[in-house]
Amino acid sequence: MLKNHLMDIMRILAIRAGKEIMKIYNSGDLNVRKKNDASPITVADEAADALISAGLRKHFPEIALVTEEQAISHLKPHSAFLIVDPLDGTKEFINRRDEFTVNIAFVENGVPTLGTVYAPAINRLFYTLTDETAVEELAPFSETKLGRQRPLQAAKPNNNSLVVVASKSHRDQATDNYISNYKVKDRKNAGSSLKFCLLATGEADFYPRLGHTMEWDTAAGDALLRAAGGKVVNFETLKPLEYGKIGYRNPFFIALAHGVTLLQDSQN
């Protein structure tokens, strides 16, 4: 019952936040500033964070809430918590590239078990179901009525012809060097947590991230990919990515469909 209610509210709040974000996006008044870590923040990040946080605290006051834009929420880890990136892909948003998302996830004992990813500018909405599967809901989206859904299923990869997805805003030489070890048929670039969604829909086979990320960047997409039959693993250990760490910082990781033979596997 709790998880059904969680998913209902996470979906509704993602849609509401998406509407608020798009109002600001279309107004042109983004009010871009720098945070203490030099990363950008806009009035849309703050508005979406306020909306989602208020909704989650109203409906689930007993569940800890960790959100990117509230530093006080980062001070201690939890065994069960909600985690939010109210506007993932702020650089995409600022540069008028439409691949930004709203990310909301629920984590239990280090595992993201529920997740919602909404990309309002491109009308794509993804979420897990409580039967441990995941779907993409097709537009238009209503807060009060579910639309038509299609199941998510990660690809069955061909290791001689892989499709790799990488970050638009955080691509680097180390990532390109790593990708060069594989037989790649096609490379796709995507912003925000949409990279996980491309894996969950079977549109790509793997996504290596050799750079800085936080748990709120990955939790919702990780939940979707796990439910779709893929996985996200620590780059060094190849063990599943864990959540609820002190500081909420991720190690380097690889998101992939089951069946991709990783370079690290072949070296063992």
Taking 60 as the threshold, does the pLDDT of residue 268 lie above it? no
Same domain, 124 and 178: no
CA distance 211 to 225: 20
User: Half-sphere exposure (CA, 13 Å, Cβ side) for 124?
Assistant: 19
Same domain, 219 and 252: yes
Same domain, 130 and 204: no
Same domain, 78 and 180: no
CA distance 214 to 201: 23
Query: 17 lies in which domain range?
Result: 2-151
Same domain, 188 and 135: no
Average pLDDT for 156-182:
88
Closest CA to 179 of 151, 199, 207, 154: 207
Which 8-state DSSP code applies to residue 105?
E
Average pLDDT for 52-69:
97
What is the bridge-based pairing of β-strands 80-88 and 64-67? Answer: parallel
Label residue 264 by pLDDT band (50, 70, 90): confident
Same domain, 143 and 214: no
Sign of CA dihedral 147, 153, 7, 250: negative
Angle CA(8)–CA(6)–CA(133) in degrees, nearest 5?
80
Average pLDDT for 109-113:
97
Same domain, 44 and 87: yes
Residue 121 has what pLDDT? 97
Token match 């409580």: residue? 130
Label residue 37 by pLDDT band (50, 70, 90): confident
Which 8-state DSSP code applies to residue 96?
T
Q: Is residue 156 part of a domain?
A: no
Averaged confidence pLDDT in the chain:
94
Closest CA to 125 of 189, 220, 229, 231: 220
Same domain, 143 and 256: no
pLDDT in tens, 88-108: 999 999 999 999 999 999 999
Q: Which residues of 228-262 are buried (b: 16+ CB within 10 A; e: fewer)?
A: bbbbbbebeeeeebebbeeebebebbbbbbeebeb
Residue 36 has what pLDDT? 82
Same domain, 209 and 117: no
CA distance 223 to 230: 10
Same domain, 126 and 167: no
CA distance 50 to 83: 14
DSSP bridge pairs for 102: 118
Same domain, 55 and 90: yes
Lowest mean pLDDT among 104-108, 151-155, 166-170: 166-170
CA distance 118 to 113: 17
Closest CA to 112 of 74, 81, 71, 66: 81
Taking 80 as the threshold, does the pLDDT of residue 115 lie above it? yes
Same domain, 104 and 180: no
pTM: 0.95
pLDDT in tens, 221-237: 999 999 999 999 999 99
Label residue 2 by pLDDT band (50, 70, 90): confident
